[in-house]
Amino acid sequence: MNDQLIRLIKLESIDAEISKNKDTQQKIPLQLTVIEQRFTQAQSALTQMSETFSLLQKERRGKEQDLKISEEQMAHRKSRLTDLKTNKEYQTHMSEIDTARREMGKIEEQILLLMEKGDQLQIAITSQQAVVSAEEKAFLGQKEAADERLKEIAETAGNLSSAWTEASAGIEAGTLDAYRKLVDTRKVPAVVPLKGQTCGGCNFSLPPQRAAEVQMGEKTLRCSYCHRFLYPQPVAAAE
């Protein structure tokens, strides 16, 4: 088989490795993004829980302040009992004390409910903190591995680039240009075997004379239909 075909086959093999290397390079950041999103979502959930807890604490402190004021008012009302002159004044005042006592009871119940919610939320926050810690550890571990893998990929890309330059150096300019056009138009593989009289790329049958010339392997020939480069099938089988 002529030297140009051998070099083209080698070049396409290198191009396949370059493409594979690029695909891996593109997938790594996407995979890392998924893990980072889990970490970010866990952080957001923890932040929301903490903010809710702060609001509950603030509301509870407000209720406790209301209760304190009500208790002071209750003490003041009770201290005035001895100053009342008539039974009607006494009954009216006691009614006000009963009403105030019921309101204080409601405030106390609200405080207890807020405390219960706060305790439950505190447990959930502690649990979520563990989730955040685990997700952060996973993210940082994956990021470190991804950074290392990207370095390896960059090194491989450099080696493949050098190999491509070396392999293409001996290919005639017109042949190399034609190969590049095939690759650019996604007609890959661009170098295919001849299977009997059929192109291994587009599956069209070549004229007998053309097929015979390809089988000889002495010329750099292309398919009349898809324009891919053709090499003899026995060579492919031997490889």
Q: Beta partners for 194?
A: 199, 232
- In terms of domains, do 150 and 184 share one? no
Tens of pLDDT, residue by residue over 11-24, are 999 999 999 999 99
Smallest CA-to-CA distance from 188 within 8, 11, 39, 12 is with: 12
Give the chain's domain count: 2
Residue 239's pLDDT is 37
Per-residue pLDDT at 236: 38
State which of 128, 151, 169 marks the end of a domain: 169
Residue 226 near residue 203, CB atoms below 8 Å: no
Range of the domain at 146: 18-169
Does residue 151 sit in the same domain as residue 55?
A: yes
Q: Are residues 185 and 147 in the same domain?
A: no
Considering the domain architecture, whether residues 162 and 207 belong to the same structural domain is answered as no
Give the distance between the most distant pair of CA atoms in the chain. Answer: 132
Residue 7 lies in a domain: no
pLDDT tens profile 161-174: 999 999 999 999 99
* 127 and 193, same domain (yes or no): no
Does the pLDDT at position 77 exceed 90?
A: no
State the Cα–Cα distance between residues 178 and 8, nearest whole angstrom: 11
How many angstroms separate the CA atoms of 23 and 30, rounded? Answer: 11
Give the per-residue pLDDT at 234: 60
- Final residue in a domain of this structure, among 120, 146, 169: 169
Residue 67's domain is classified under what CATH number? 1.10.287.1490
What angle is formed at CA 225 by the lines to CA 223 and CA 226, rounded to 5 degrees? 75
